[in-house]
């Protein structure tokens, strides 16, 4: 089996072996500990081998419309509700044709998964890990360019953003999750009186099925939200985003080719409200793994609450819902670091990252220099097709995003508190293009400083230099989100004060660095408040949400008396 060979390449044996009692039986399975390492990245230079390989694969997809079915078990379904996934930078071109599942088909997917669950739950964890480590190897090697190409074409990512996401981060999720699963399940409870009592822990998947509802902006998140519960012995319905259909289907096919049995992850494109209604009404819902909007997550949560009396177990809800992320600058900050870090955080991938910087607070004395340098960089940034190697950012994802972002820019143009000082032009005639837009505000509590835009729009408030703590405190109360944030300060006292001030308003916090770019295994990701449940994907404790631990006590000596010691 190819997965065994790939597993041996990826796993680094430790000096010791540990025993884990798997849920499949009372048998103990011995397997080596291993340590994951982050996936190396290519640079795709002009004459590089990887650039040439990618160009060849792009040619395979750029003029093709992929037909993507609903997949349940080993069956493919195509309904009359046909949809198209268009290229955001050239919306007349259809990247994929897909089909919305009906309520009956969604229910069929649930039933199919539940049938597959029993055997999958009995599969030892190291065997499940073999499959996902095989998938990681495939993505790292022979399927890498396919994932980059489908992500670039379908989600308008340039080469570098696609490499970060579809290759490196997805491989990291799969590899580190296998390590974390191994480490997590190594714990066994104490048995102080081993001759008379044996205590053990069984790490079971949750009873029922999981639903993974995934976003457009990261191919890696799509592949991760469905594979994480599956690794831990669960079955899952994967509802991909309409605007990430091409790359997500590519990931799904890789999982199946890597050895994932039918029915463990069922691929179910569907209308969001229809899918949500069917899964939340099922008594077998074990949990929802979600990344998307606050409104959608609240709707799911309310639906679960309304159906609470019908469930076999309380469903687990995991949510990551975006943010209104900030850069707070102190007068001692390094100017170049502020300029470059803020440009990259705010405008890479058109600000369509949950962690993207959307508001900046800066001392009034620094703002003229920082503004001049930011304007200089913005004048050099090229906007265009994601397939153009010289493009820094391409189109936003679809017409809905375009209209939403444009509405904020139009609001800024009409507001007496706001001044558009760069960008501000929007054009959807060919693609959904929005220029990187820089806005200055005189009101630090304007709605544009509070609401998530999810586009290439950055609003800056210059504050009086010596009142940094006053405005830091204000910044902590301005937005209902708490996902990412950064402070730039070299002065030790100011740095300490600002770090303390922002303690509760960022699940991922950066000091003298941009608010984007978390790496699996290095900065586990997630936030509080309306940003989500902060379960920290990419960290060692995330997978605990997908197990239902059973503690077993086995007595080796029979009980002989009913009388209590105190009764003697």
pLDDT at 8 over 80: no
Asked if residue 16 has pLDDT above 50, the reply is no
- Mean pLDDT for the stretch of residues 195-199: 93
**Integer CA distances (angstroms), 454 to 46, 412, 424, in order:** 31, 16, 15
360, 362, 366, 367: CA torsion to nearest 10: 50
Q: Kindly state the helix (H) or strand (E) to which residue 30 belongs, with its residue range.
A: strand 28-32
pLDDT-wise least confident of 14-28, 248-262, 295-309, 433-447: 14-28
* pLDDT tens per residue, range 325-343: 999 999 999 999 999 999 9
Where do the structural domains in the chain lie, given as residue ranges? 11-319+532-552, 325-511
* The domain made up of 325-511 is a member of CATH 3.40.309.10: yes
Cα(325)–Cα(343) distance, integer angstroms? 13
- Nearby residues of 61 by Cβ (< 8 Å), 6 or more positions away: 95, 149, 150, 153, 246
Checking if the pLDDT of 384 tops 80, the result is: yes
Q: Give the number of other Cβ atoms within 10 Å of residue 126's Cβ.
A: 20
For the domain made up of 11-319+532-552, the CATH class stated in words is: alpha beta
Q: What is the pLDDT of residue 32?
A: 64
Residue 64 dihedral angles phi and psi, to the nearest 5°:
-125, 145
pLDDT at 395 over 70: yes
Q: Which residues are catalytic?
A: 320, 354
Under 8 Å CB-to-CB from 14, ≥6 apart: which residues? 32, 33, 34, 35
On the question of pLDDT at 437 being above 70, the answer is: yes
Report d(CA 264, CA 227) in Å as an integer. 9
How much is the pLDDT for 157? 98
Other Cβ atoms within 10 Å of 127 Cβ, number: 18
pTM of the predicted model as reported, rounded to 2 decimal places: 0.93
Asked if residue 97 lies in contact with residue 84, where contact means CB atoms within 8 angstroms, the answer is: yes
Measured CA to CA, the distance from residue 269 to residue 433 in angstroms comes to 27
- pLDDT-derived band at 194 (thresholds 50, 70, 90) equals confident
Rounded Cα–Cα distance for residues 539 and 516 (Å) = 17
pLDDT (tens digit per residue) in 200-252:
999 999 999 999 999 999 999 999 999 999 999 999 999 999 999 999 999 99
Q: How far apart are CA 535 and CA 552, in angstroms?
A: 27
> In the chain, pLDDT over 90 holds for what percent of residues?
92
Q: Are 460 and 473 in contact, with CB atoms under 8 Å apart?
A: no
pLDDT over threshold 90, residue 24? no
């Amino acid at each position: 089996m190819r997965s065994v060979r790939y597993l041996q390449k990826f796993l680094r044996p430790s000096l010791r072996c540990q025993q884990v009692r798997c849920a499949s039986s009372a048998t103990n399975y011995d397997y080596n500990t291993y340590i994951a390492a982050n996936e190396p990245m290519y640079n795709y230079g002009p004459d590089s081998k990887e650039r040439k390989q990618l160009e060849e694969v792009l040619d395979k997809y750029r003029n093709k419309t992929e037909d993507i079915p609903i997949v349940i078990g080993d069956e493919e379904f195509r309904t009359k509700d046909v949809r198209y996934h268009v290229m955001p930078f050239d919306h007349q071109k259809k990247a994929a044709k897909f089909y919305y599942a009906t309520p009956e088909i969604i229910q069929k997917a649930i039933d199919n998964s539940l049938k597959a669950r029993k055997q999958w739950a009995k599969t030892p964890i190291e065997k499940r890990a073999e499959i996902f480590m095989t998938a990681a190897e495939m993505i790292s090697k022979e399927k890498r360019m396919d994932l980059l190409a489908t992500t670039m074409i379908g989600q308008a990512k340039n080469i570098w953003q696609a490499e970060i996401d579809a290759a490196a981060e997805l491989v990291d999720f799969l590899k580190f999750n296998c390590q974390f699963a191994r480490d997590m399940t190594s714990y066994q409870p104490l048995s102080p009186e081993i001759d008379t009592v044996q205590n053990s822990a069984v790490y079971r998947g949750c009873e029922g099925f999981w639903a993974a509802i995934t976003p457009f902006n990261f191919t890696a998140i799509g592949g991760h939200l469905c594979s994480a519960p599956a690794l831990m012995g669960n079955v899952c319905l994967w509802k991909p985003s309409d605007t990430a259909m091409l790359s997500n289907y590519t990931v799904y096919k890789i999982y199946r080719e890597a050895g994932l049995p039918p029915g463990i992850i069922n691929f179910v494109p569907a209308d969001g409200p229809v899918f949500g209604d069917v899964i939340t009404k099922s008594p077998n819902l074990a949990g929802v793994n979600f990344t998307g909007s606050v409104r959608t997550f609240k709707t799911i949560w309310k639906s679960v609450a309304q159906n609470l009396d019908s469930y076999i177990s309380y469903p687990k809800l995991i949510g990551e819902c975006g943010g209104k992320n900030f850069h707070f600058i102190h007068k001692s900050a390094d100017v170049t670091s502020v300029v470059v870090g803020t440009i990259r955080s705010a405008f890479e991938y058109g600000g369509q990252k949950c962690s993207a910087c959307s508001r900046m607070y800066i001392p009034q004395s620094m703002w003229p220099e920082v503004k001049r340098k930011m304007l200089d960089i913005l004048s050099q940034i090229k906007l265009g097709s994601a397939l153009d190697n010289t493009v820094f950012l391409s189109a936003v994802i679809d017409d809905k995003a375009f209209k939403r972002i444009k509405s904020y820019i139009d609001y800024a143009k009409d507001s007496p508190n706001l001044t558009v000082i760069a960008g501000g032009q929007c054009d959807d005639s060919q693609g959904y293009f929005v220029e990187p837009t820089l806005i200055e505000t005189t009101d630090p509590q304007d709605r544009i400083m509070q609401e998530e835009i999810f586009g290439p729009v950055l609003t800056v408030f210059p504050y009086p230099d010596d009142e940094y703590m006053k405005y830091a405190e204000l910044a902590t109360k301005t937005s209902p989100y708490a996902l990412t944030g950064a402070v730039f300060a070299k002065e030790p006292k100011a740095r300490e004060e600002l770090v303390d001030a922002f303690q509760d308003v960022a699940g991922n916090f950066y000091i003298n660095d941009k608010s984007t770019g978390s790496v699996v295994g290095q900065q586990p990701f997630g936030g509080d408040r309306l940003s989500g449940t902060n379960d920290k994907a990419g960290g060692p404790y995330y997978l605990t949400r997908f197990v239902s631990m059973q503690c077993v006590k086995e007595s080796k000596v029979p009980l002989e008396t009913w009388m209590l010691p105190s009764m003697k």
